[in-house]
Structure 1
């Protein structure tokens, strides 16, 4: 989604270069009437522009979320790529960011819950508890597992949502985001792990609930373990170090943070880089 400037917002040459006759003296009443007309036109243009952006934002969300709900991973990947492109376009304008925040109060347009219900859902959750489907005429729904590319894209979308809309961190907490992301960090590949560290920063930012979950999951130790492991990709180990430094910098500006003991944990850990 690319938010383009509407045609009606562009000034014409006649507006930019007034005619000589317009420089002639005017009486106060005519000037007041002209000013009122100009103000009314500007209000109409602003209203039309706001409605246009809202339609584009909601259309982009509905299009992307439709694919994110799909049963096949390649369709979900397509939806996630579209959402990520849309979020990057939304981030370029304060007005579109405000409208995006408004859409996230509408359940059908919320992005974060669908990420955890589909892309981050473990394959084990799909196990069948009974064999009733064998004797039924109804076909059994089979959902393809999330690929590495899908998980990495979903993490980027999660990061974007939390940065543009801080309330998305609360939605992430409701879906146990920290345990899910720590599982990704410990079981997935380098591509997903790098995206996971960025997503962790965005959902921990100014979120006491997520910070408490991170502490309960021994997040510092998990990240430090990756740094100590010489078999881990060097770039990922450096990214883990940056992650810890960002946490420390964030806590230095706050008092009594839920993870305020990070300094002791960080300095007490033997980081053999």
Structure 2
């Protein structure tokens, strides 16, 4: 998605060098305001056309039968989401596109790239006796699942209402399955996507509790044979989760502190709780650095046992 500045917008707001002597200042201001409103409207329409075109192109490939085409579409969608995140006005346009069924990202992700293998079981042998060839879809590769989870994460962060669609497709159950059966690449992306799906979504939080999500994450974190970076990501996930639900008594996972204390021990639980009490700086890079350091301390406290 390339949002180029239109040629006609450069001089749209400029005033004539030699205005007519008969033209009053008020008339000039009114004319300038009309021109600016027209330019703004045209620019918004242009951005919306480019955004919808980019989404349609990516979604077309994301629905393909072959994994390499789906990956191409997902990467295109991920690039579009990164462009959208740079501007509040484009975020509003993106939010509007997600109210249109043909442009919604979440259903496509769960119908194709994040589709569970058991959904492909053969329930009929009619295709053997027919003359029409059976439609074959290649399974999702590790890279495809990881990119799809990144797209899901970005979509839910930019458009929080997408968490409702994610719940309808059993997002938490699917992601917990990825977390317990897939490799490190997908597991890391899964933790990031999972926290974005759980934010301010009671329905998904209920599903997370029903799937024993805290136990699954704690099990990975306690496993000293697991990848060190993955264990660190688990610590970051718990820090973000506790910080989000802290003080929300009505949250379906309000007992997360007690669960962490039971699963990881008093010291680790105390470190996580203490870290959630301090406000974070406004600088995103500093927040990420602080989160990484805090997760490392939690992991160190866990390894002392």
Is 2:223 the partner of 1:229?
Answer: yes
Unaligned runs of 5+ in 1: none
Q: Secondary structure at the match of 2:112?
A: helix
Residue aligned with 2:14, SS? helix
Ranges in structure 2 where 5+ consecutive residues have no aligned partner: 266-301
What TM-score results when the alignment is normalised by the length of structure 2? 0.84
Say yes or no: does 1:184 pair with 2:183. Answer: no
CA distance in 2 between partners of 1:3 and 1:197 (Å): 31
Mapped partners of 1:15, 1:60: distance in 2: 32
In the other structure, the counterpart of 1:74 is 68
Q: 8 Å contact 2:116–2:174 — kept in the other structure?
A: no
Number of the residue aligned with 2:107: 113
| Residues 48-197 of structure 1: pairs in structure 2 closer than 5 A | 48-197=42-191
Return the offset for 1:253. 4.2
The 2-side partners of 1:149 and 1:239 are apart by: 18
User: Helix, strand or coil for the counterpart of 1:138?
Assistant: coil
**What CA distance in whole angstroms lies between the structure 1 residues aligned with 2:247 and 2:91?**
26
TM-score by length of 1: 0.93
Task: Tell me how many residue pairs correspond in the alignment.
Answer: 267
- Which whole-Å deviations, capped at 9, do the CAs of 1:215-252 have from their partners, x for residues lacking one? 11100000000011111100000110110011111112
Contact 1:3 1:90 in 2 (8 A): no
Deviation, 1:125, is 1.4
1:87 CA displacement:
0.5
The answer to whether residue 34 in structure 2 is matched with residue 36 in structure 1 is no
- The residue correspondences of 1:190-229 to structure 2 (distance < 5 A) are 190-229=184-223
Contact 2:188 2:233 in 1 (8 A): yes
Over residues 185-211 of structure 1, what are the superposed CA-to-partner deviations in whole Å (9 max), with x where a residue is unaligned?
000000000000000010000000000
1:9 Cα deviation after fit:
2.2
CA apart distance, 1:133: 0.8
RMSD: 1.7
Return the alpha-carbon distance in structure 2 between the equivalents of residues 32 and 93 of structure 1. 33
Report if the CA contact (8 A) 2:220-2:226 is conserved.
yes
Deviates more, 1:254-263 or 1:112-121: 254-263
Which residue of 2 is the match for residue 7 of structure 1?
Answer: 7
